[in-house]
Amino acid sequence: MSDFVTTSKYFVYGGLASMTAEFGTFPIDTTKTRLQIQGQVTDEACKDIKYRGMLHALYRITREEKIRALYNGIAPALLRQASYGTIKIGLYNSLKQHLAIYAKGETLFNNIICGASSGALAAAIANPTDVLKVRMQAATSEMYAKRESMLCAFNKIYKTEGWNGLYRGVSPTAQRAAVVAGVLLPFYDFFKSKLLSTDIFVDNTVTHLLSGFLAGVLGIIAANPIDVVKSRMMNQRKLKNIHQSHIYTSSLDCFIKTIRTEGPFALYRGIIPSYLRLGPWNIIFFVTYERFKILF
| 216 contacts 279 by C-beta, under 8 angstroms | yes
| 12 contacts 86 by C-beta, under 8 angstroms | yes
Q: Is the pLDDT of residue 162 over 90?
A: no
pLDDT for residue 29: 83
Please state, in angstroms and rounded to a whole number, the distance separating the CA atoms of residues 86 and 113: 18
Q: What is the pLDDT of residues 187-228, one digit of tens each?
A: 999 999 999 999 899 999 999 999 998 998 888 888 888 888
pLDDT for residue 19: 95
Q: Is the pLDDT of residue 57 over 70?
A: yes
pLDDT for residue 251: 82
| Residue-wise DSSP of the chain | -HHHHHHHHHHHHHHHHHHHHHHHHHHHHHHHHHHHHTT-TT-GGG-S---SSHHHHHHHHHHHH-GGGGGTTHHHHHHHHHHHHHHHHHHHHHHHHHHHHHHTS--HHHHHHHHHHHHHHHHHHTHHHHHHHHHHHHS-HHHHHT---HHHHHHHHHHHHHHHHHTTTHHHHHHHHHHHHHHHHHHHHHHHHHHHTSSS--SSHHHHHHHHHHHHHHHHHHHHHHHHHHHHHHH----TT-----S-SSHHHHHHHHHHHH-GGGGGTTHHHHHHHHHHHHHHHHHHHHHHHHH-
pLDDT for residue 288: 94
Mean pLDDT value across residues 45-59:
81
CA terminus-to-terminus distance, the chain: 17
55: region left, alpha or beta (phi > 0 left; psi from -120 to 50 alpha):
alpha
| 110 contacts 96 by C-beta, under 8 angstroms | yes
Rg value, the chain, Cα: 19
Please state, in angstroms and rounded to a whole number, the distance separating the CA atoms of residues 207 and 187: 13
pLDDT for residue 1: 46
CA angle 204, 22, 51 (to 5 degrees): 120
Q: What is the pLDDT of residues 105-140, one digit of tens each?
A: 889 999 999 999 999 999 999 998 888 877 776 666
Q: What is the pLDDT of residues 2-31, one digit of tens each?
A: 677 777 899 999 999 999 999 999 988 888
- Identify which has the larger pLDDT, 216 or 153: 216
Please state, in angstroms and rounded to a whole number, the distance separating the CA atoms of residues 81 and 17: 9
| 28 contacts 273 by C-beta, under 8 angstroms | yes
Task: Give the count of beta carbons closer than 10 Å to the beta carbon of residue 153.
Answer: 18
- Identify which has the larger pLDDT, 211 or 52: 211
CA distances from residue 66 to 18, 59, 142 in whole angstroms, order as listed: 26, 10, 11
Task: Give the count of beta carbons closer than 10 Å to the beta carbon of residue 249.
Answer: 11
104: region left, alpha or beta (phi > 0 left; psi from -120 to 50 alpha):
left
Please state, in angstroms and rounded to a whole number, the distance separating the CA atoms of residues 46 and 255: 17
Record the pTM.
0.75
- Identify which has the larger pLDDT, 28 or 86: 86
Q: What is the pLDDT of residues 227-276, one digit of tens each?
A: 888 788 877 765 445 455 567 888 888 899 999 999 998 888 878 877 87
Please state, in angstroms and rounded to a whole number, the distance separating the CA atoms of residues 207 and 204: 6
Range among 44-58, 86-100, 209-223 rated most confident: 86-100
